A and B are shown apart, each in its own frame.
Chain A
Amino acid sequence: MAKLEVQHLSVHYAGRDGSGGTLALSDVNLALDPGDFVVALGASGCGKTTLLSCIAGFMPFSSGRILLDGTPVTGPGAERGVVFQKHALMPWLSVVENVEFGLRMRGMQKSQRRRIALAKLDAVGLAKFADSPVYQISGGMQQRVGLARALASDPEVMLMDEPLGALDALTREQQQELILRLWWQTRKMFFFITHSVEEALFLATELIVMTPSPGRIAHRYHVDFGRRFVECNDSRAVKSDPAFIGLREEVLQLIHSAPSAQEAA
């Protein structure tokens, strides 16, 4: 069974002259099983993007280790799909060509990869736009293409770096629901970064609240609002539940009482 483990992970950025520097991540431990939806929440500078970059293999770390199915992570790989804050699509490719990009890189035949890409586009509701240029569709749709592109490689883990941060509130809520449905259907491991407490609580099965200087996990919550949404399909009911509101206020209180990166530095 696939499992992602982050053990005693620390990242120490070198200072400009080689001395000093900052401890971006300090002794972070995390474990994900299939079907886990871990959301990292915290103010800017708390190291959540650094943590995602380490898991994705984009960034080397100072100490500790990251294991996927017991194999150490040493660089980027297709078993860890990434959805970026900026969609990072290739504007010279059409929507469907973007989705099949990873399959093409691994030498899959055109007819086969096209079939998979169209299926993933259908899953995110963009089948009609398969042949559109990516620069002609809206920001929300571009993010969904990014999602379909990551899913097309059938990764074991989905890593999402504030993918909804740039979207308007209405689109954002629709995308949250879409992501929850995809998570529920695929039963993959999801690791998601956000600034929004409400978004974090709504999506997570495990919520980690991170604090800066040094970046570390300060609190963990086990929640199940996302699962409840998938069962009842009514996000307003979930988000207006007194339990949801109570927890939201509690987490907000936690974040506001924590020292910010600027104050602590």
Chain B
Amino acid sequence: MNAPETLPASTPRESDAAAKPAPPMRHVSGYSVPGEGSSTLIAAVTVIGLLLAWWVATHNGWIRDLFLPTPERIIASFAEAWKGEIQGGRPLAEHFGWSLLRVFAAFALACVTAIPIGIAMGVSRIARGIFDPPIEFYRPLPPLAYLPLIVIWFGIEETAKIVLIYLACFAPLAMAARAGVKSVSIEQINAAYSLGASKWQVIRHVVIPASMPEIFTGMRISIGFGWTTLVAAEMVAATAGLGQMVLNASNFLRTDVVIMGIVVIGIVAYAFDLLMRYVERAFVPWKGKA
């Protein structure tokens, strides 16, 4: 057998280095996967492009004011609404406060009921048998379809509005919690049993923590459903609320207030989603890593 040749650690030969200076080392970044890299710049360009197109189209009179007012008009209507100088005379903060209260009351109620029920559906045959048929039946229904029934049952006060938003939030959250339970690996459960855990301890210390990433995703989807149902909930006998403000403005063809209301709802919903993502990173930093 031949003795192996032992190579020195430095790769470039001395003579080569003397002949010409080595070219600067090119920086490489690992393998690439489809869709990788930051999209922030492109997103910013898209947003600015859309705003610019809006500005140009409205200022050149290509679109009538009734259909699409100018961006400045929207900002002006925001200022008017802020001071309560719109139809109904309530300041924007009051509309905003009522809507926030309704969406978050419904969402909080959904969290404290849907998460335990979803987990119960995941771990218990009996709970699944009880809750699966009603949830699967009402889940695909549009909230507007059962809104009249909610009004008949709960009247036209706050209860009906919160119940409607609550129902919209409940189903996706319960489904997510149930799916989260199914994502626990059998090895993790067996490991806990073989370390002496009881069935309840396995649920409490393995199943629930392992479901948290899916539950957080469910919470984000759920609050999204809550915001989309807000306008429907405020269609009946509301005197304040962002949805009511938008509907009322449309009756008076105040397109500027309609758009302003939509933008406010969009910004609030997006801001809350950002907050949820932050909370998610803080609570389940291991998501997708194990």
Contacts and interface: CB of A to CB of B under 8 A. Distances in A.
A92 B193 CA distance: 18
A35 interface: no
A55 to B, nearest CB: 10
Given A88-B185, A90-B209, A91-B286, A80 B201 contact: no
Contacts of A57: 193-194
Contacts of A259: none
A78 B187 contact: no
Interface in A124-176: 133-135, 146, 149-150, 153, 159
B114 to A, nearest CB: 21
Contact of B196 (A89, A106, A146, A159): A106
Nearest to A93: B209
* Best-surrounded residue of B191, B194, B286, B289 (most CB of chain A within 10 A): B194
Contact of A92 (B185, B194, B198, B212): B212
A102 interface: yes
A85 B209 CA distance: 22
B192 interface: yes
**Chain B: number of interface residues, binned into ranges:** 20 to 34
B212 A81 contact: no
B250 interface: no
Given A90-B206, A105-B201, A84 B193 contact: no
A1 to B, nearest CB: 22
Interface in A63-89: 75-78, 80-82, 84-86, 88-89
A77 B190 contact: no
Nearest to B285: A133
B159 interface: no
A153 B190 contact: no
A51 interface: no
Contacts of A88: 185, 187-188, 190-191
Contacts of B25: none
A166 to B, nearest CB: 13
A56 interface: yes
Contacts of B206: 90
B96 to A, nearest CB: 36
B145 interface: no
Contacts of B187: 84-86, 88
A105 B205 contact: yes
A135 B289 CA distance: 6
Contacts of B285: 133
A86 B188 CA distance: 9
Of the candidates B197, B210, B212, the one having the most CB atoms from chain A within 10 angstroms of its own CB is B197
A56 B286 contact: no
A75 B193 contact: yes
Contacts of A191: none
Interface in B161-208: 185, 187-188, 190-198, 201, 205-206
Contacts of A89: 188, 191, 290
Interface string B204-220: 01100110100000000
Contact of A102 (B196, B198, B286, B289): B196
A78 B212 CA distance: 27
Interface in B247-290: 284-286, 289-290
A77 B289 contact: no
B190 A76 contact: yes
Contacts of B190: 56, 58, 76, 82, 84, 88
Given A82-B190, A86-B185, A105-B201, A92 B286 contact: yes
A82 B191 contact: yes
Contact of B191 (A80, A84, A92, A106): A84
A146 B192 CA distance: 12
Contacts of B290: 89, 91, 134-135
Contacts of B185: 86, 88
B209 to A, nearest CB: 4
Nearest to B288: A135
12 contacts: A56-B194, A57-B193, A84-B187, A88-B185, A89-B191, A89-B290, A91-B286, A92-B284, A105-B205, A134-B286, A135-B289, A149-B195
Given A101-B205, A105-B197, A149-B191, 8 more contacts: A84-B187, A88-B188, A88-B191, A91-B286, A91-B290, A92-B286, A146-B191, A150-B194
For the complex of A and B, 9 pairs with smallest distance between CB atoms? A102-B195, A78-B196, A91-B290, A88-B187, A91-B286, A76-B193, A135-B289, A105-B197, A82-B194
